[in-house]
Structure 1
């Protein structure tokens, strides 16, 4: 199941990158830099300021981890097709059981490794998942939902400025969350189901 879900995510990432730029692999975008910036935003949501009271916003922390995963998948896809990349990624992700640790320190180690190598520190990312008790199944569900929403926005005029981010009185992220909770993320066509459900809701709202 994990290998299948990994291949699905890699394929979806390849498709959304291609939608934005047909020749994205040859552009050598600085994905590692995006990971670094997202990591800083993630730390702000978790909290690090000793001079004020802070509580980790774990929902935002997980959302930022999913954003980092988008860029990490893109870095991995620079090495080849989804089917090939999935094999090496799976080995790294399964290389030992990880116990939760000091999230801030592990995040800094992950970021340092990413900056030093300009590659995705898969082992370090797996540790961050363990630190936040985020299962691979949850990562998959959250990633597919966000990826499908990004594609849906592009398909419905996001770049042209004609897409409505708020419809039927709510933001599209809220519609997505509701749809995701109603569907079986283990289904082979889960991403297609999410897209069709978004499309049905959006078209109904626009026509109303």
Structure 2
């Protein structure tokens, strides 16, 4: 449990630093350094919508399709950025980490590792945890109990997609490093190159992590720099 708490505290500290670097000192007040309004709840809703689009849910298109479970897990990490940010808006990283640990829950719904035709008939059940998360994010309240419910539902979704805490941690550390890397290389200004020699940067990140699951944060940034240099050299 101590190790898990340390990892949780590390994630919240990294998220606070990312928000400081990206948005400036007033992000907890709901505004960026450029004066743009921040709405973490809407971020959660939109990222969850992207996750749902990794299901073949449309009754008029690709009706025999399945799910992109790998991408669903990546989307859960993206959602985690914004769930943490909403918590950090209200409390310090240590308090937020403890609340996150207290709210961890299992889900009654489990996504299949391999999709079968029969799974199409229960897609409404499989989507339920994620739609519940969206519904919670849309509730406009400052009640502290709401944040607890949001976190509980988030952890249910993590369990539903078959992610362990350590997998979430590893992918979050990777994605946080990538987000910092993007900002450094002009993501906000529109000068960043997202496709590196035919591969999206997310795919490059996953390749680096797959080759070295225990890679440290700074070493990961160095590895991204090396890959980006090869992709953008003239």
The two structures have a TM-score, normalised by structure 1, of 0.85
| Kept after mapping to 2: 8 A contact 1:42/1:61 | yes
CA RMSD of aligned residues (A): 2.3
Alpha-carbon distance in structure 2 between the residues aligned to 1:66 and 1:112: 19
Q: 2:87 aligns with which of 76, 81, 100?
A: 76
Task: Please list the CA deviations of residues 123-179 of structure 1 after superposition, one character each: whole Å capped at 9, or x if unmatched.
Answer: 111111121111111111212211111110111222333333334554322321121
Query: How do residues 1-208 of structure 1 correspond to structure 2 at under 5 angstroms?
Result: 1-22=3-24, 23-27=26-30, 29-51=38-60, 52-93=63-104, 97-101=106-110, 102-116=125-139, 120=147, 121-185=150-214, 190-207=216-233
Deviation at 1:24, TM superposition (A): 0.7
Question: Which consecutive unaligned segments of at least 5 residues does structure 2 have?
Answer: 32-37, 111-124
* Structure number having the greater helix percentage: 1
How many aligned residue pairs are there? Answer: 203
Deviation at 1:92, TM superposition (A): 0.8
Deviation at 1:78, TM superposition (A): 0.9
The two structures have a TM-score, normalised by structure 2, of 0.76
Moved over 3 A (4+): 96-102, 117-120, 166-171, 203-208
Task: Please list the CA deviations of residues 93-143 of structure 1 after superposition, one character each: whole Å capped at 9, or x if unmatched.
Answer: 1xx544435431222222222222555511111111121111111111212
| Kept after mapping to 1: 8 A contact 2:109/2:129 | no
Task: Please list the CA deviations of residues 45-93 of structure 1 after superposition, one character each: whole Å capped at 9, or x if unmatched.
Answer: 1233345323111122122211111110100111222122111111111
